Every structure is written in structure tokens, then in C-alpha cells.
Amino acid sequence: MSKTWFITGTSSGIGRHLTERLLARGDRVASTVRQVDALDDLKALYGERLWVAALDVTDLESVRDVMARAFAELGQIDTVVSNAGYGLFGAGEEVSDDQIRLQLDTNLLGSIAVIRAALPHLRAQGGGQIQQVSSEGGQIAYPSFGLYHATKWGIEGFVEAVAQEVAPFGITCTIVEPGPAGTSFSTNAMRAEAMDVYAATPAGAIRRALAEGSFAIRGDADKMAQAMIDCADSGRAPRRLLLGAEAYGRVHAALTARLAELEAQRDVAVSTERDA
């Protein structure tokens, strides 16, 4: 039985792969992009099964309007995928105020707006699934990615809370955490103006590696898209869906270290209780 999806950020990367796979198997897709002609090739192939709207997720009123139109014109939407976003590279001191604001407006506030806009419609139809695309960077952090991490750690906290709030309405939420994949993420990312003082620091080392393209990318964006589809089809909604072998290893190591640090602080934590 075919399903209907709403997906933001479908012009490239995982969003594009997801759209292509869903249309190829017979599903309907409501896709949002910054430029509507970005999907002309798919529109020519699939016609009315591809619904396209221009959307900048930083325009919160437009997010609500586009979501309402999609539900009104397509009827039931089974899965909403909040995918739009981009990277910002630079040490915390290097990034500008304008860069910070746009990163938060897009990745965090824009993602929150998509979820909030979907909830009334999902409640009215009796349920559905939300997939929020985060990153392995929603649980770990690298130098020069601080503002990007701020948005991903932030959206994960929001989804954790919302998932508990909307479970009684039959709405499930999954946080998708891809590792690095062969997409245009790096080339499309915004970069801060470098400060010489950071050249010999971990932030400088990351900046040089990005400039040289020396990071090995093993993740397959198309396979990641299929894993997201399989998750939706399974009828089960894990709170997190981690994608990528190296991402699994890094997140596992980070969580193990955090748990060990927590255990080491148990006595201090307990000592701060009021005396009986």
C-alpha cells in the first residue's frame, strides 16, 4: 500500500535520495525546496505523485502555510521528515553574529517550526510519524563545528520532549543521526573567517582537513535514505536511528566515556542532597 510523505530539503543529499526512492516505489511525496525547479526532472517522471513547494524554513509563517496546504491537497500524510539544514564551520570565536543567527534559525528554529506545524494535522488524522534528521553530531562534538552541534543537540532535546507529549495521539518521533556521507554537505556549508590564533589548535586542524578534503567518507546517502524508509515501514519507531559504521563507533565511545564520568561523580551528586 502506497504512503504519503512530507519532506523538507529535497534538492540534494539524503532528502533527494529519499524522494527518489519513495517515488520509484509508488509513494506520494510532498517535497519542499528553496528553488522549485530543482525537482523538475522528478516532476517530469512522476507527475502528480510529486507535490512541490518552495520553502525557506526560516520563514515560520510560510512553514505553517505550506504544511497546511500539503495536508489539505494530499489528505493524510503518513510520515513527516524534517531534513532541511546546512553546516557552519568555524571556532566559536570565529563565527560571526549573523552566521550564528542564520544557523540557529535554519537548523534549530526551522526544524522546530516544521514539527510544530505538522502536529495539529497529525493529531487530527489520528497519528503519524515524524523523522527529524539530526546527525552523529547530535551526540558528539568536533572542534570548528560548535554552532552546528548546538543546533543538533538542541533539536534532539526538543524531539525527546515532544515525543513524550504526542505519544497519546498516536504520533511517533524518530531522530535520524547520519554519519558523514557522500553528499554536498561540506561544499554547501558556510565557513567562518579564520583567525590566525587558531591555526595551531584542534579547530585549525579540522579547518585544514576540510580544505584539503582529507576526511574519508564511507557513508552511502542512498542506503541511509533506504534505512529511513525501512524504519517508517516497520511500524516501530526507535527514538534514534544511527546511520554509519564509523558514526556508530564514535557515538558508542562518547556515550561510554560520558557514562564512566557520570559514575565517577555519583558520590558528589548524592552529597548535594538536603540533610534528612
Inter-CA distances, 202 with 69, 174, 186, Å: 46, 32, 18
Question: If pLDDT is split at 50, 70 and 90, which confidence band does 185 have?
Answer: low
Decide if pLDDT at 256 tops 70: yes
CA distance linking residue 175 with residue 137, whole number of Å: 12
Q: How confident is the model at residue 235 (pLDDT cuts 50, 70, 90)?
A: confident
pLDDT, tens digit (0-9, with 9 covering 90-100), for 68-79: 999 999 999 999
pLDDT in tens, 22-80: 999 999 999 999 998 999 999 999 999 999 999 999 999 999 999 999 999 999 999 99
Q: Is the pLDDT of residue 206 over 80?
A: yes
Instruction: Out of 134, 135, 144, 198, pick the active-site residue.
Output: 134
Was domain 4-245 assigned CATH 3.30.530.20? no
152 is annotated as an active-site residue: yes
Half-sphere exposure of 198 (CA within 13 A, CB side): 19
Of 6-10, 101-105, 131-135, 181-185, which gets the smallest average pLDDT? 181-185
Question: Measured between alpha carbons, how far is residue 261 from residues 139, 140, 254, 265, 267 in Å?
Answer: 16, 15, 11, 7, 12
H helix intervals, the chain: 13-24, 40-46, 60-74, 97-103, 110-125, 146-166, 185-188, 202-212, 221-234, 245-264, 266-271
**pLDDT tens per residue across span 99-125:** 999 999 999 999 999 999 999 999 999
Domain residue limits, the chain: 4-245
46 is catalytic: no
Q: Is pLDDT of 236 > 90?
A: no
Q: Residue 134 catalytic? A: yes
